[in-house]
Amino acid sequence: MHLAAGSCGVTIHGTVSTPENTDGYQNGTLGIIIAQEMPLTPRLYLPAQRKKISESMRQVVLDLHGKGIVHGDIYLSNFLLCASGNSNDQVSVKLSNFHDSHFISDSSQNSVDHEKEEQWTPILNGKMISPNRANEWMKGRDRKATKEDDLYALGICMWELWSGKRYDEARGIWEDVRRGDLKGRGVDMKGVGDKGVRAWVRAWLRGGGAIV
């Protein structure tokens, strides 16, 4: 899926493979070699830099969706600041880790897989899980990530970028869901210091079922 993502993903320099198939790997391919880029470090950025990074994060996710691909595992460390394309006026942020990505046509928004033991589960796959998806899982249903799930996670990432804090899922929606509060909660929007970015984040979190 990294190849299909094209310019939305960090540049690929090659693959690592063996001469023949191995358990779990077809055609002998074990992995890919990508460009060594910089992880995002919120505490180092001035507000103007955060704004440019936010715009690039937003654009790369929208471009990925425009290619018909859902990333499925968006969180801050999967965004990398790329050396190529950066200047005083512009920054270039790309995505990495496409392990859970899929084409939108592969998964209907309403499809449900009832074979629980065969499913991907939110608890096992990271922290950026939308309340809407968490609620379905708690009711015994699961589905692949949607564009709305990606955007919810993007909103959390931008909140982290601006607030300098890490989203703690133990104190986020999962704790509410465990207590039976299926409404879902968001984050403190005061941490996002730009009006335009704050509007994006609020819309994306609400789209995922959060109250903000």
- pTM, full prediction: 0.81
Q: Which CATH superfamily is domain 2-100+129-207 in?
A: Transferase(Phosphotransferase) domain 1 (1.10.510.10)
Mean pLDDT confidence for 171-186: 60
* Banded pLDDT at 93 (limits 50, 70, 90): very high
Q: Is 184 left (phi over 0), alpha (psi -120 to 50) or beta?
A: left
Rg of the chain over all Cα atoms, to the nearest angstrom: 18
Q: Which residues contact 77 (CB under 8 A, 6 or more apart)?
A: 39, 40
Q: Between 74 and 132, whose confidence is greater?
A: 74
Work out whether strand 69-70 and strand 38-39 pair parallel, antiparallel, or are unpaired: unpaired
Residue ranges covered by each domain of the chain: 2-100+129-207
Q: Between 183 and 42, whose confidence is greater?
A: 42
| The pLDDT of residue 12 is above 60 | yes
Distance CA 18, CA 85 (A): 34
| The pLDDT of residue 197 is above 80 | yes
